[in-house]
Amino acid sequence: MSKRKYHLNEQDIPEGFQIFEDRLEVAGVSFRKEDAAAFAGAKDVWLELEREPGNKYDKNAIKVIGCSKGFFGTKRRFIGYVPKEVSRVIVEGGYWGQIRPRLLRTYLGNQGYVEILFQILGPKGIKYQYRQTGATEVEQVEQLIQENKFEDAIKLLLRLVDATEKEAKKTGEGVAPWYYEKLAMIYRKEKRYEDEVAILERYERQPKGPGALSKKLAERLVKARQLRDRKSA
């Protein structure tokens, strides 16, 4: 039987802190499934963060450690990483030592699927500064879409797709599905169904990490094919 648990009531926001990142998924859980599942099934749990400066793939890497209390003291399990784009902001922006994680939700599925969501908390009064440091290409995409500059957004997203596929090939982890989803949404809005099908099929061929978005994009591909076929009929 699947097990979903929310943890916010167990971990109040400390005085002087506020939420910097509201909903993050621990990256790389699929490569540490046994430890992640044990953590998700444990009682009295919390998260800690550790720098991993020796990581050959990412100098800014931050490990996520799942902690739980047991009969023989605290059990600490390495369950994954802070998402790469967030760890970059934390480290390069000089926020390491000021931020802390807050466990949001654990989910343990029937067939071994594990999802762990968390927040990043930081000192009050510097969130705007943090956000400015964290202005990323993702935010550029959102701004371009908001301004209806779809061609510019498509060009940027295609570059990001190339980058995430290159990174996945190097590290063995899954691609970032968000880029594919945004492209598919733009193509749907523009009624460019052939392009939508192409980007979703491209995503289907890539290695994937855990998460509900993969299933969502597979379902979207079915609909996109129907729309494409209907248009060309």
Determine the Cα–Cα distance for residues 212 and 222; give it in Å rounded to an integer.
Answer: 16
Q: What is the pLDDT of residue 212?
A: 58
Q: Say whether pLDDT at 129 is over 90.
A: no
Instruction: List pLDDT tens digits, range 23-37.
Output: 999 999 989 999 999
Q: What is the pLDDT of residue 48?
A: 97
Instruction: List pLDDT tens digits, range 153-190.
Output: 999 999 989 988 888 888 777 888 888 999 999 999 99
Report the amino acid identity of residue 182. Answer: K
Q: What is the pLDDT of residue 135?
A: 55
Instruction: List pLDDT tens digits, range 72-120.
Output: 889 999 999 999 989 988 998 889 999 999 999 999 887 778 999 999 9
What is the architecture, at CATH level 2, of domain 137-232?
Alpha Horseshoe (1.25)
Q: What is the mean pLDDT of the chain?
A: 88
Determine the Cα–Cα distance for residues 225 and 52; give it in Å rounded to an integer.
Answer: 43
What count of other Cβ atoms lies within 10 Å of the Cβ of residue 135? 11
DSSP 125-136: T-HHHHHHHT--
Domain spans in the chain, listed from the N-terminal domain onward: 3-133, 137-232
Contacts of 224-229 spanning 24+ positions with Cβ under 8 A: 224/184, 224/188, 224/193, 224/196, 224/197, 224/200, 225/197, 227/188, 227/193, 227/196, 228/193, 228/194, 228/196, 228/197
What is the architecture, at CATH level 2, of domain 3-133?
2-Layer Sandwich (3.30)
Instruction: List pLDDT tens digits, range 186-228.
Output: 999 999 999 999 999 999 999 876 565 778 899 999 999 999 9
Give Dmax (Cα) for the chain: 67
